[in-house]
Amino acid sequence: MDKEYVGFAALPNQLHRKSVKKGFDFTLMVAGESGLGKSTLINSLFLTNLYEDRHLPEASARLTQTLTIERRGVEIEEGGIKVKLTLVDTPGFGDSVDCSDCWLPVVRFIEEQFEQYLRDESGLNRKNIQDSRVHCCLYFISPFGRGLRPLDVAFLRAVHDKVNIIPVIAKADALMPKETQALKQRIRDQLKEEEINIYQFPDCDSDEDEDFKRQDAEMKESIPFAVVGSCEVVRDGGTRPVRGRRYSWGTVEVENPHHCDFLNLRRMLVQTHLQDLKEVTHDILYEGYRASCLQSLARPGARDRASRR
């Protein structure tokens, strides 16, 4: 007798409908020195203009500018899927003459989001917790140096156990292909030497199709992503419209994988690893913070000190 059908096979569809109805929250931080095209790349990635009301300070004002934290939100809907994107920007990073400890406000901000989530999770109303934790940090690296600067190393070392770091080489159209590969290898070597942890791609499941496995391997090999951003539509050779940048020597196409890693970065952030970034944030980074808080409260006299604050 054939086995009767119960109906559990419909569970994935139930979960999918529930997730689509609820929507998705994702918080992305961008960091790096000014002038590396952070806002242009973000607008290119999400086909929106998150910076239309931004006022750029004069060069003289940047010398004394201190790092600030700016939060911008936008809801993006595509094919019935809603994503509430929160962008956390860090204008002023690395712009001062003295950049000592300029990353401390970023560390404090990330920890404050963990602290707020811990308070909400420990409260009475746990049903509607707002997740403002930073799920990913795109760190922009200058293409004009010889790898990571001391400031880059200090920032990454301060946040690498608190947020998923994805390093990107900005304005990659300033480099020749051989120069890009050499810079990538140099940065990978420095990250290893400094024992800085960046986001690790999960291994592919054995039942994934070959195209997905190939794309996943390409994304892993691309880190740090060498990117070019542009929202301008130009005509390549006078006929085909593409998003890119036109120079006297030719056109750089943003979405051409032979020109830069923009497609791999967008695919990773939007199509394949958004949920994994959230899970790593919750299961590893936040749990590490939560465990350290609980351990500190377990020490003798800790509760008395906390109550006196």
Taking only the tens of pLDDT, the chain with its 309 residues reads 555 655 656 655 655 566 566 667 899 999 988 888 888 888 888 877 766 655 555 554 444 455 678 888 888 777 777 888 899 998 877 666 556 777 888 999 999 999 999 998 887 777 778 889 999 999 999 999 889 999 999 999 999 999 999 999 999 988 999 999 999 999 999 999 999 999 998 888 777 788 888 888 888 889 999 999 887 878 766 567 887 788 877 788 888 888 889 999 998 888 888 889 999 999 999 999 999 988 887 665 554 555 455
Consecutive H or E run containing 235: strand 233-236
Query: Residue 253: its pLDDT value, please?
Result: 83
Best CA proximity match to 62, nearest among 96, 100, 99: 96
Consecutive H or E run containing 74: strand 70-78
Give the predicted TM-score (pTM) of the model: 0.84
Best CA proximity match to 167, nearest among 182, 147, 150: 147
Overall CATH class of domain 25-93+102-298: alpha beta
Contacts of 229 (CB under 8 A, 6+ apart): 37, 40, 41, 42, 43, 44, 45, 254, 262
Query: Residue 178: its pLDDT value, please?
Result: 93
| Calpha distance 268→277 (Å, rounded) | 10
8 A C-beta contact, residue 131 and residue 159: no
Question: What DSSP state is assigned to residue 167?
Answer: E
Query: Residue 234: its pLDDT value, please?
Result: 81
Query: Residue 246: its pLDDT value, please?
Result: 80
